[in-house]
Amino acid sequence: MRVAVLVLVVSVSLTEAARCVPTSSPQCYKNSTKPDEDFICEWDERNPEKSQTHILHIWDTVKNSFRTHVKCSKPAQAYLHLEELGTPSRKTDIWVQTQVGNLTCNSSKTSVILECMVKYSKPQIIRMKRSAGILNITLDKPTDNKGAIYEIRWRKRDSEWQNTTFETKDSTIKDFHILHLQNRTIYQIQLRRQAILRSHPCKDSLHALWSDWSQMVDVPSEIRRRPVIRCVEKNPENGTRDIHLSWDAPLPEESVGGVKYILKLLDWPCHKTKKKKQTTNQTYNTSITYSEARISIIARNKVGHSPERHIFIPALKHLNYCNSDMPSNIPKADNNTCLEWYKLEDGETRPKTVNSSNNILLKDIKNEVDHFVRHYYFLHIKRNKQYQTVVMCPFYSKQKAPINGPANVNISDITHESAVVHWLSIPVVEQQGFLQHYVIWISGQGNTKFHQVPANKTSFLIKDLHPGVSYTVSISGRTEAGNGPNSTVNFETHSKEMGLSWQDQTILIVCVVALLCTIICSVAARRLKLLPDVPSPVVDVAEFRCPEEQDQRWMIEEVHEFILLLHQDPGKRRENVTPEQSTLLQDFGLVVFEEEDEEDGEGGVSDLSSIKSCCYPNPSYRGQMLQLPEPFHMTDSTSRDNDTESTYRDGLFFETRVLESLPSGTDQLNPA
């Protein structure tokens, strides 16, 4: 029985001892190298029991005595006050005793010199700037403002780590490091640091601890381009314009880690500095006055920001006169009002120098600005946290007549009774006041007519003129102070009406209509075959060929002579052939030959080569007779008895010999 009880006690003791699991070896350190700083001790709990206590034991190995015993305020942490430790430069053994119920267990001992146990806090990346493949890193300084040894590691996404170490100097505000990276590539980086121990006991000591690793940070690429912004302005209403801005996000490699957009607005003219707005959205809505507004925007990521994009929203177009739809002037000036004014010399351009104040009104500045020069002013108010323009208007402190007349005066569209005169408006800088209208004088034939043209017009139709008369036109501008100089031009009307009268135009139209009807009817008759076909002339198939187209070989014709005896009245004198008859024969291609007397030797037939004609008679015309109005004769004074006449007919030459007159009633034909 005693043996059984003893075995039961031993088993219970072993079971309870098995429940007490010692902690890890404690690690004691301070957060800086300052000599008067307290220590922190940490360890890992390994005992599964919840009801347990820990006691930290500090053993002085030189004196072989305990320096202190510290109960833990937290489950795995204890604070050591410097007053309780005494001299921390001596070697010390440290361990943790764990108590679970009635059981205790101790961790392994650690021999350290507490003065050398320094563990910095993990580094914080304050700022990163990346440009052209170089990453500049700015880190926070340790609490003792001492230099440290850093270890940095970096990698591309989903790749292996690369690491290196660097050392920083004392007495600097921030710690810096430069890391070379590939351009346009996303990286991840982490850092940790270690104290540099310079005291003699710690100089060669390995007790200095590395801090924890910093949080892993994604390193995007730098933003190289300005944001692309779209601005939509709604129609102005009640002195306010609603502005909607939107822009595009940077490229994906530039947007890693998030992008913030910083807007600076100058929408209240009496503010000297721009309001700053920060957003992660890609849209922004605001309200502005009728005056000019300026907005700038940049996109910022972890390694820098984009170039700044400036947005200029111009003021509404300048008015030539005050807008009567706007309310009257505000009698009181305070922080909720803003008067803005500037010199407007050319009538359109807003100068760089603009005056603004929330303490004065228009009546206070009218006597302070330049005379005879146009100015422009806006009066803004702030109502329900919204800016609004209540008055916008040009003004003069004093007015004067224009110093010049209209330029480039010319006349066009001149007729016998009218003409149009054109001119250029008087520039604002030359008006010296509000231009009320233009005054026009038309002088001619001793009479002068007067007209007034609105100030916004630059042309005028002159009517009721007389034909062929010279006129003089003079134009000047008028303000409330009077008329300015004249600009003059001369012209002369036409003497009569130019162009066709209505009677001539009517006749011309009737003729054109009749011609068109004739053409249409003729085409229709041909298409519908309403008229019989006109027969075509029959042309002989024989070809007419000129000598140039025919064979140029010599031709020999057989010539026969014959004598034609004509009866002639002895009492009637023979008439010679007239030149007209000879010409007529030549026109028909006939040649008359005169035969010499037989005493002359060879004669009667001349060479055919001497015949020149545009074309030989066509043989197909045989049987046709050459009829002359009267017979013709060729006589020779030397040989009247043997006169001959030659003719050409049907390709043959004929000689007609005229003999002495035979007895009455006798005719003789003697062919030769």
Tell me the pLDDT band of 558, cut-offs 50, 70 and 90: low
Structure-model confidence comparison of residues 362 and 472, the more confident one: 472
Strand partners, 393: 377
What's the rounded Cα separation, in Å, for the pair 520 and 560?
64
Query: Which pLDDT does position 578 carry in this prediction?
Result: 47
- Does 659 have pLDDT greater than 50? no
Look-up of token digits 């009829």: 627
Question: Average pLDDT, whole number, for the chain?
Answer: 78
> For residues 614 and 521, which has the higher predicted lDDT (pLDDT)?
521
Render pLDDT for 419-474 as a digit per residue (tens, 0 to 9). 999 999 999 999 999 999 999 999 998 899 999 999 999 999 999 999 999 999 99
User: pTM score, two decimals?
Assistant: 0.58
Listed range (484-493, 536-545, 596-605, 640-649) with the worst mean pLDDT: 596-605
Calculate the CA dihedral of residues 572, 576, 577, 578 and round it to 10 degrees. Answer: -100
Q: What percent of the chain shows pLDDT beyond 70?
A: 72
Q: Is 552 helix (H, G, I), strand (E, B) or coil?
A: coil
Instruction: Note the pLDDT of residue 222.
Output: 92
Return the minimum-mean-pLDDT range out of 328-332, 486-490, 566-570: 566-570
> What pLDDT is recorded for position 424?
95
pLDDT the model gives residue 549: 44
509 touches 530 (CB < 8 A)? no
pLDDT value, residue 322:
81
How does residue 605 score in pLDDT terms, banded at 50, 70 and 90?
very low
| More confident site: 29 or 2 | 29
Domain 20-116 sits in which CATH superfamily? Immunoglobulins (2.60.40.10)
**pLDDT for the residue 406:** 94
User: pLDDT higher for 631 or 222?
Assistant: 222
Predicted confidence (pLDDT) per residue in 90-144, tens digit:
888 899 888 888 888 988 888 888 888 889 999 999 999 998 889 999 999 998 8
Cα–Cα dist 272/266, whole Å: 8
- Residue bearing the bigger pLDDT, 363 or 507: 507
Tell me how far apart the 2 most distant CA atoms of the chain are, in Å.
218
Alpha carbon distance 391, 290 (integer Å): 9
CB of 113 within 8 A of CB of 207? yes
- Which of 200-204, 383-387, 405-409, 548-552 has the lowest average pLDDT? 548-552
**The predicted structure's pLDDT at residue 205:** 54
Q: Looking at residue 602, what DSSP letter applies?
A: S
Q: Which helix (DSSP H) or strand (DSSP E) does residue 603 occupy?
A: none
The CATH code for residues 125-219 is 2.60.40.10
State residue 643's pLDDT score: 52
Question: pLDDT value at position 2?
Answer: 52
pLDDT at 194: 92
Closest CA to 458 of 418, 413, 406, 419: 406
The lowest-confidence range among 37-51, 131-145, 156-170, 503-517 is 37-51
Q: How far is CA 104 from CA 10, 20, 69, 101, in A?
A: 16, 7, 15, 8
Which residues lie closer than 8 Å to 337 by C-beta, 6 or more apart?
330, 358, 361, 379, 380, 381, 382
Domain spans of the chain, in order of start: 20-116, 125-219, 229-313, 337-395, 407-492, 545-672
Does residue 541 register a pLDDT over 60? Answer: no
Query: What pLDDT, on the 0 to 100 scale, is given for residue 495?
Result: 86
Residues 117 and 123: beta-carbon distance below 8 Å: no
Task: Check pLDDT > 70 for residue 547.
Answer: no
Q: How many helices (H) and strands (E) in the chain?
A: 7, 37
Q: Is the model's pLDDT at 658 over the cut of 60?
A: no
H or E element at residue 431:
helix 428-431
pLDDT, mean of residues 267-284:
89
Q: For the domain 407-492, what is the CATH superfamily, name and number?
A: Immunoglobulins (2.60.40.10)
First to last CA, the chain: 202
More confident residue, 277 or 626: 277
Cα torsion 318, 322, 324, 330 to 10°: value is 100
pLDDT, residue 663, reads 44
Q: In this predicted structure, what is the pLDDT of residue 52?
A: 80
CATH homologous superfamily for the domain 229-313: Immunoglobulins (2.60.40.10)
Higher pLDDT pick, 476 / 621:
476
Domains 229-313 and 407-492 share a fold: yes
pLDDT of residue 664: 42
Judge contact between 405 and 476, C-beta under 8 A. Answer: yes
Q: What are phi and psi of 84, to 5 degrees?
A: -80, -25
Q: What is the mean pLDDT of residues 602-623?
A: 42
Two tokens, residue 465:
């003129």
pLDDT of 321? 82
Give φ, ψ of 545 to 5 degrees. Answer: -120, 135
Which position has the higher pLDDT, 655 or 465? 465
Q: What is the pLDDT of residue 604?
A: 42
Q: What is the mean pLDDT of residues 609-627?
A: 42
pLDDT band for 522, please (50, 70, 90 cuts): confident
Closest Cα to residue 33, out of 103, 120, 99, 105? 120
Q: What is the pLDDT of residue 309?
A: 94
Of the pLDDT bands very low, low, confident and very high (cuts 50, 70, 90), residue 150 is very high
DSSP one-letter code for 599:
G
